[in-house]
Amino acid sequence: MCWKMLAQNSAVALPEPGGRKIVTFHFNSDNGVPVCEQVMAALISCNHGIETAYGADQYTARLGPAFSDFFEREAFVFPVPTGTAGNGLALGAITPPYGTIFCHEGAHIVTTEAGAPEFYSGGGRMTLLSGDHDKISAETLAQALQNHGIGNVHHMAASAISLTQATEAGVVYEPAELQELSAVAHNAGLKVHVDGARLANAIAHLGVSPAEATWKSGVDILTFGTTKNGTMNAEAVITFDPEIAGRLTFMHKRAGHLFSKMRYMSAQLLSYLEGDVWHRNASQANRNAARVVNALKQCADVQVAYPVQINEVFAMLPPTLTEALRQREIQLRPWNLKGAGQGYRLVMSYCDSADDIRLFEEACGSVPTSRRPLDPDNADV
């Protein structure tokens, strides 16, 4: 459920100095959703009394045991306020200044994080790989490592691979795929990092345990995203390797992320795990995306770009449909997609307005229906 005093994830026009209006979009991003009630209640509950600063409080002390139980293995937890900080710290901890990180060319760390991994590693670089749906295959990684050369002093040291779960196309790595990639990486001496900005949505789709989705599949370190799924400003770098954790202890402080009032971040992370809030919210967001894509697939001339496996839908929409949506005051965010027509990205959340989804379905029902058979590659919801 949404925090009752905050706005829904819908399009609104906000006033701006000079009389202009800033237009936001329906289903724009799960980054903008309200804090869920349980997390907000935890923040209010921890806002009493005096606690020891810089992570020596009772809430932060519970993070290690809570996440160790969550992952079924000892876990070392480092709270950070943003995913960019998390990815940068995590990759900096496993990449020396002379090292390179293998990742997909469309990865968020490449396109949208302003060189954070290079910054936190003190000069490391990224080696970019290709693959459908922004996924890397084990074969692609093996070939890239062979081309790069392991131990070649004239090249940057092959140090890490970063995988996004789910990918920037909203597509999920199966545990078997992660295991194959991890085996190739570990055999070459690389550590495996997962950018888990939407990890909860991926796990909910897969129907596996957090352990099976991470360390049991060979993951050494991950950025555990929660902000998109109900917290205010709490993410976490999590590793299962004590040696990596030892480096992170100092990097975390030096980077300015050992907050003096850490209890407010820790309380959010704890409440996110309690009662399976993470899974409930992610499952609802995924179900909302399923409703949206099912409505879209009934419309003529709609092209769904990728399999819909989490809470994101990428599609090319005809003008008849966008006009029908506009008449219902639903505006969507344009997105650069390959294919005929204008592309859009729709990101659903755990607390989307039921009215917005109903209106969306009505708009889809008001335009010509599809006579084409559904593409089986895009039928996975």
Q: Return per-residue pLDDT of the chain as tens, 381 residues.
A: 443 333 334 444 445 555 556 667 889 999 999 999 999 999 999 999 999 999 999 999 999 999 999 999 999 999 999 999 999 999 999 999 999 999 999 999 999 999 999 999 999 999 999 999 999 999 999 999 999 999 889 999 999 999 999 999 999 999 999 999 999 999 999 999 999 999 999 999 999 999 999 999 999 999 999 999 999 999 999 999 999 999 999 999 999 999 999 999 999 999 999 999 999 999 999 999 999 999 999 999 999 999 999 999 999 999 999 999 999 999 999 999 987 679 999 999 999 988 889 999 999 999 888 755 444 444 444
236, 310: one domain: no
Whether 8 maps to a domain, the answer reads no
Whether 63 maps to a domain, the answer reads yes
* Non-local CB neighbours of 348 within 8 Å, separated by 6+ positions: 27, 30, 285, 286, 288, 289, 292, 311, 312, 313
User: Using CA atoms, how far apart are residues 87 and 99, in angstroms rounded to an integer?
Assistant: 16
Structural domain range at position 19:
13-35+283-369
* Non-local CB neighbours of 56 within 8 Å, separated by 6+ positions: none
159, 203: one domain: yes
pLDDT reported for residue 25: 82
For the stretch 183-231, pLDDT in tens is 999 999 999 999 999 999 999 999 999 999 999 999 999 999 999 999 9
190, 47: one domain: yes
Q: What is the CATH number of the domain that holds 153?
A: 3.40.640.10
Domain boundary among 216, 248, 277: 277
63, 31: one domain: no
pLDDT reported for residue 38: 96
The closest of 95, 90, 94, 91 to 77, measured between CA atoms, is 90
Q: What is the CATH number of the domain that holds 341?
A: 3.90.1150.10
Neighbour count for residue 145 (Cβ, 10 Å): 20
Whether 5 maps to a domain, the answer reads no
**What one-character-per-residue DSSP string does 202-253 give?**
HHHHHT--HHHHTGGGT--EEEE--GGGT-SS-EEEEES-HHHHHHHHHHHH
φ, ψ for residue 377, nearest 5 deg: -70, -20
The answer to whether 314 and 338 have CB atoms below 8 angstroms apart is no
Tally of domains within the chain: 2
Whether 377 maps to a domain, the answer reads no
User: Using CA atoms, how far apart are residues 363 and 328, in angstroms rounded to an integer?
Assistant: 7
Residue found by looking up tokens 């596996």 in the block? 208
